[in-house]
A and B are shown apart, each in its own frame.
Chain A
Amino acid sequence: MQHDCARYRKILVLLKWGVRGLCRLVRFALLMAGGVGCILACGVLSGQESSPNYGDTLVIGEIGNGLKNLNPIFYTLDQEKEIADYIYGEGLISLDRQGTAVPGLAESWEYSQDRSIWTFQLREGILFHNNVPLESGDVVFTYNLYRNVKTDSHYFYNKNFDVIERVIEDGDRRVRFELQGPYEKFFPELATLQILPSQIYNSGTYEATRDSILHSTPVGLGPFIFSRWEDREKIVLRANPFYYRGRPYLNGLSIQFHATEELLKAAFVTGEIDFARIEEEASARDVWRSNPRIRLVTLVSNQKVFECISYNVSKKLFSKGATRTALTYAINRVGIIDEVLSGKGNIAYGPLDSDSWAYYPNLPKYHFNPKKALELLNEEGWSDIDRDGVLENGDQEFRFTLMFARGSGLFERIARIVKLDLKEIGVDVIPEPVEYKEMMRLMKEGDYDAALMSFPSEAKVENFDRLFHSSNIGRGLNVMYYYNREVDRLINLAYEVSDRNRLEPMFQRMQLLIAQDQSCTFLFFRWLFYTAVDTRFQNIRHPNGGLKPFPEWWVPEEAQKY
């Protein structure tokens, strides 16, 4: 009897399991069916969305309003370069992601065996924005202009135009470049430059555009046509209907300038702008949270940037390396990274981060040590004799202005921390927000004490040249007025070398020398960049160099706003 009972119980349990299993199976099947349905529906939906249509305008928000020039030879700001790129478009060729040359204005090219003579065949029917067709004469004019014009644009200074012996027209829509000898960087450096309309300028009139875009309307070959410049706060571009790669889907671009990041954020929240780069993660999240129509894109850039305090070593205050090193000791870089980047950055000890192939691990680190800083300064003769908090050396007080780009919340916060850190050792820092364009001018002229800057971090000779070679004092980006004969020599030498094994010790030596000299206090590296875009824009890609409004962007008809 008991056996029977046990057996029944067993059967019951088995039955229960069976029923439960069946239920689960049914539930699973339903879920799967639902899932498949959803996927199908999504497929159908996305299928419907995939046909782009024309219309609408993208309003880009920028900080600052120091724009002066959109002409390719004279622009000095990233903002100017970006707008100029829309207007002037590609050069004879352009480079794809892998750095391979693809046809641009030229549909084909050929070169002599020793690569000293290059012939480009231009596409037919390309029109400038004033409807004048592109001729080989325009190319010849442009390159001659490039060879002769004097510019302080750091985008231009290290392009080796001397290598070009002459540029001549070689028949219908054909241009021949005769070089002095083989030049490895002919493609990436020279063949990608933007072409200017020869019938608008001659060398003399082009010089006149140096100071302001107001002097002439930029005329190019790019996807967007310059339309107007409103109250120095807004640049309006409209789509080029005859763009040789096809008219952009958007009707136009409008670039609006805002005095501060706070105003930019406000404009985004109120829907006045559709696209903006935001420096700080917290700000980006703030914007994203406050407007549901915003898509936040976080880009992990493969090109890092380092922030630093560059000192004007030509000033007496910063002329001694020990003084500058003392300042580095006094600044809590870990604190800055934690406070302004939420820890998402690395301390910088030199211009290259530890993941670079040329990184030198044995650089002097100058870890945060206010006591050591004070000792160093005391050795240099700085002490607070009158007990007013500020160090004195003779009749000079240790006080300097720290420039930073106006409107940037990130730099303002760094400046405040630096000010407070240095106050601890008796150095009085006066942060001074300056319009970026003006700041660049002041720095090139050597008319400043110190500045918060950010530079690309890459083991390229050009980068080191631009920043640290004494020949670039007053031009290029050697705004520190830094001079080290050995660094100069190493840079010159490195230009001749292409083998990484031979380059590595050179870069390592340069890093060591630069770190020892401390012409700037390296603060940190960062690689996360935040871009906010209105969700109505489709086909947003991340091409090299970050998220940029490209002609491929489009807006579904029902979502169009302008």
Chain B
Amino acid sequence: MQKIPFQNRLITRLLVSHIFLAAVPILVVGWILIGTAQRSIKNSVAEGNLTLAKRAADEIGLYVQNAQGILREMASVPSMTGMDRWNQDIIINNAKRRSDIFEKLFVLDREGNEVVSTSFTQFHQAYDTYPFFISTLKGDEYISPVFVSEDRLPIVTVSQPILKFNSVVGVLVADVNLKSMWALVDSIGLGQRGRAYVVGANGILIAHAEKRRVYAQEDFGVLEVVKNVLEGQEGTQIYIDFDGEEVIGSYAPVPMLGWGFIIQQPTEEAFFLAARMRMDVLFLIVGSILMASLIALIFTRKLTRPINTLVSGAHLFSRGKLEHRIQTESNDELGALAKEFDAMAISLLENQKKLRRAERLATLSKFASIVSHEIRNPLNSMAINMQILQRELQKKGGGSREKQEKYLNIVASEIDRLNTLVRNFLLIARPRELKLSMCNVTSILEEVLLSQESRARKQNVRILRDFHSDVNSCRVDRDQLKQVFLNIVINAFEAMPTGGQLKVFTRSEIDRTMGDGVEEPRERRCVEIVFKDSGVGIPKNERETIFDFYYSTKKGGTGLGLAIAQQIVEEHGGTLFVDSEVGRGSIFTVTLPMERA
């Protein structure tokens, strides 16, 4: 059966088309799903973070406003407005004692001189040229830009006019320590690694989860988010932070203070959900495709199996095994086709039987004519010689004894010839059963060649031998095989009337039979015996007929030698081939299996 390449097989084509049809829509839908989900998750993260940033920024604003509120309240206490040093001292020291947010509180008179202060170290000094004093003296509340104290802490100065009957009698000033705000900033959490920080109007860090950065007064002004937030914008963007990590940062300006609040989170963490969803969908896609492939495989196998059965059945039919029946359970078109094939095989078998009967009849008639013809000749010859002999015997004196013997010999030889004829007929008509035994093929061959030694000499034929050592015993019928070799050798001698060369060699071969879906592939060891003569050769048109019964090109040939040889070889399960070239000689190759099943 012809082997079909994998890519051309029906099952492959069906599978590919099925999987393609299943995968494309899944992939398209999955892709769209991932895209949409990613976008929506990213948007919601960005929005959520921004909301948080805005809220936190408001709260940080409140922190300073709260300090301002306390200050406002203190400034309105009667003992403060009375500019009573003793009581002012108590008020501001109590405020400092009660609240961590005040680094230092002090009161200035209208000239800008320090009246009282919570600081034990600094000497009273004049503040009349300081912007906070000038501004507050006009009756305005004042909040300074952030600056760093001697203790490396970020500070803002907040000042409040002390009003008495709507005129400014003094200024209450507080250095608000933003360190207390750090805890507030630290408490604004975002996931595991989210970080919040606050920058002053100049981009310098005021609060950050990593305190060392605040103490080191790191300048974050170069970050685009910081630039944006200090310009009063709010928003969310993805950028690479100072640690080289990609983060999503949301920023909002702190109201009234000109500071910026930024909360950033590594994108890896922020979009964890999106990443996980992408993975899930990818798994789903791969799983669906695998599932679809499996279903396609099962389906196509179900479809192609009856076709394969059909193909192998047809193949068996083509090889003549018409007794085979394609058994298929399918009741579709393929089932019907199988049934038709079976019906065809049945009718073919019938026809074959008829044909064979007719053929046998034809052979029989041909045989009868040959037999009658073959027998008639010696019978005629015998009749004539018997008549001559009779006449001789009737002669006086009994005739010549020599002559009598001559005619008797002729009759005897004709009887011999008849006998041979009959034996050969019998051989063909009733082939002897094989008597198999383990025999050495080489020794049989040697025996045959030895028996023909004298003829070879006479005919001037050189016999060359090349027997392969691997060629050993085979299970054969020794006598019959001897007959085969003898017939071939005689045939060779007859092809070389004027002498020549006969080369006989053996070799062992491995005969491979490919499986075809019905028969299992197998290998068997064989012996090849090759007879190569340098005779006249056989024309191409005769090559196919030389193994036919009663075909002979020679005078006196029975036309049975090669036919019998082929019959015997085939009975041994072997083959007999001929290859020939006119004028150069012929090659007869006998192939015998080493082991017979």
Using a CB–CB cutoff of 8 Å, the interface residues on chain A facing chain B are 259-260, 262-263, 266, 269-271, 290-291, 339, 388-390, 406, 412-413, 415-417, 419-420, 423, 428, 431-433
Which of these, B87, B150, B211, contacts A291 with CB under 8 Å? B211
A388→B87 CA distance, assembly (Å)? 10
Contact A420 B212 (CB under 8 A): no
- A262-B151, A266-B151, A433-B121 given; A389·B87 CB < 8 A: yes
Chain A residues, Cβ within 8 Å of B121 = 406, 433
- A420-B93, A420-B97, A423-B86 given; A431·B120 CB < 8 A: yes
Q: Is the interface of B mostly helix, strand, loop or mixed?
A: helix
Which of these, A269, A415, A417, A432, contacts B215 with CB under 8 Å? A269
- Give A404 Cβ to nearest chain B Cβ, in Å: 8
B42 CB within 8 Å of chain A: no
A432→B93 CA distance, assembly (Å)? 15
Interface pairs (14), CB distance under 8 Å: A262-B152, A263-B151, A266-B151, A266-B215, A269-B211, A270-B216, A271-B212, A389-B84, A412-B120, A415-B120, A416-B93, A416-B97, A431-B120, A433-B121
- A266-B215, A290-B211, A412-B120 given; A260·B151 CB < 8 A: yes
B475 CB within 8 Å of chain A: no
Contact B215 A270 (CB under 8 A): yes
B90 CB within 8 Å of chain A: yes
A433→B86 CA distance, assembly (Å)? 21
Q: Which 6 pairs, one residue from A and one from B, show the smallest C-beta to C-beta distance? A: A389-B86, A262-B151, A290-B211, A270-B212, A266-B152, A431-B120
B40 CB within 8 Å of chain A: no
A412→B94 CA distance, assembly (Å)? 13
Which of these, B86, B87, B120, B153, contacts A390 with CB under 8 Å? B86
User: Which of B89, B90, B211, B216 gathers most chain A CB within 10 Å?
Assistant: B211
Chain B residues, Cβ within 8 Å of A291 = 211-212
- Give A450 Cβ to nearest chain B Cβ, in Å: 14
B96 CB within 8 Å of chain A: yes
- Give A445 Cβ to nearest chain B Cβ, in Å: 22
Chain B residues, Cβ within 8 Å of A428 = 86
Chain B residues, Cβ within 8 Å of A413 = 97
Q: Which residue of B lies closest to A264 (CB)?
A: B151
- Give A433 Cβ to nearest chain B Cβ, in Å: 5
Which of these, B89, B120, B215, contacts A433 with CB under 8 Å? B120
- A270-B215, A291-B212, A433-B120 given; A262·B90 CB < 8 A: no
Q: Using a Cβ–Cβ cut-off of 8 Å, how many residues does chain B contribute to the interface with A?
A: 20
Extra contacts besides A270-B215, A417-B97, A420-B93 (8): CB < 8 Å: A260-B150, A262-B153, A269-B211, A269-B212, A270-B212, A271-B212, A389-B87, A390-B86
The digit string for B86-118, where 1 denotes a CB below 8 A from any CB of A, is: 110110011011000000000000000000001
A417→B120 CA distance, assembly (Å)? 13
Which of these, A260, A269, A416, contacts B96 with CB under 8 Å? A416
- Give B102 Cβ to nearest chain A Cβ, in Å: 12
Contact B211 A420 (CB under 8 A): no
A271→B212 CA distance, assembly (Å)? 8
Which of these, A259, A263, A406, A419, contacts B93 with CB under 8 Å? A419
Chain B residues, Cβ within 8 Å of A269 = 211-212, 215
Chain B residues, Cβ within 8 Å of A432 = 120
A266→B212 CA distance, assembly (Å)? 7
A296→B152 CA distance, assembly (Å)? 22
Chain B residues, Cβ within 8 Å of A389 = 84, 86-87
- A290-B211, A415-B120, A433-B120 given; A263·B96 CB < 8 A: no
A11→B372 CA distance, assembly (Å)? 102
The digit string for B211-248, where 1 denotes a CB below 8 A from any CB of A, is: 11001100000000000000000000000000000000
Chain A residues, Cβ within 8 Å of B120 = 412, 415, 431-433
- Give B592 Cβ to nearest chain A Cβ, in Å: 71
- Give B96 Cβ to nearest chain A Cβ, in Å: 7
A271→B216 CA distance, assembly (Å)? 10
- Give A192 Cβ to nearest chain B Cβ, in Å: 40
Chain A residues, Cβ within 8 Å of B93 = 416, 419-420
Contact A420 B94 (CB under 8 A): yes
Instruction: List residues of B (187-222) whose CB comes within 8 Å of A's CBs.
Output: 211-212, 215-216
Contact A423 B89 (CB under 8 A): yes
- Give A389 Cβ to nearest chain B Cβ, in Å: 3
- Give A276 Cβ to nearest chain B Cβ, in Å: 15
Q: Which residue of B lies closest to A287 (CB)?
A: B211
- Give B467 Cβ to nearest chain A Cβ, in Å: 76
Q: Which residue of B lies closest to A292 (CB)?
A: B210
A406→B89 CA distance, assembly (Å)? 21
Q: Which residue of A lies closest to B90 (CB)?
A: A423
- Give B332 Cβ to nearest chain A Cβ, in Å: 52
User: Which of A259, A415, A416, A428 gathers most chain B CB within 10 Å?
Assistant: A416
Chain B residues, Cβ within 8 Å of A390 = 86
A423→B94 CA distance, assembly (Å)? 11
Q: Which residue of A lies closest to B212 (CB)?
A: A270
A290→B216 CA distance, assembly (Å)? 14
- Give B87 Cβ to nearest chain A Cβ, in Å: 7
Q: Which residue of A lies closest to B118 (CB)?
A: A416
User: Which of B90, B96, B120, B153 gathers most chain A CB within 10 Å?
Assistant: B120
Chain A residues, Cβ within 8 Å of B216 = 270
A262→B152 CA distance, assembly (Å)? 8
A178→B205 CA distance, assembly (Å)? 68
A291→B182 CA distance, assembly (Å)? 14
Chain A residues, Cβ within 8 Å of B212 = 269-271, 290-291
- Give B463 Cβ to nearest chain A Cβ, in Å: 87
A412→B104 CA distance, assembly (Å)? 13
- Give B268 Cβ to nearest chain A Cβ, in Å: 21
A207→B327 CA distance, assembly (Å)? 125
Q: Which residue of B lies closest to A412 (CB)?
A: B120
A7→B322 CA distance, assembly (Å)? 70
Q: Which residue of A lies closest to B89 (CB)?
A: A423
- Give A498 Cβ to nearest chain B Cβ, in Å: 46
- Give A402 Cβ to nearest chain B Cβ, in Å: 9
A420→B92 CA distance, assembly (Å)? 10
Chain A residues, Cβ within 8 Å of B152 = 262-263, 266
- A270-B212, A291-B211, A291-B212 given; A420·B151 CB < 8 A: no
Contact B211 A388 (CB under 8 A): no
Q: Which residue of A lies closest to B151 (CB)?
A: A262
Q: Which residue of A lies closest to B87 (CB)?
A: A389
Q: Which residue of B lies closest to A271 (CB)?
A: B212
Q: Which residue of A lies closest to B182 (CB)?
A: A290
Chain A residues, Cβ within 8 Å of B94 = 420
- A266-B151, A432-B120 given; A420·B90 CB < 8 A: yes
- Give A118 Cβ to nearest chain B Cβ, in Å: 52
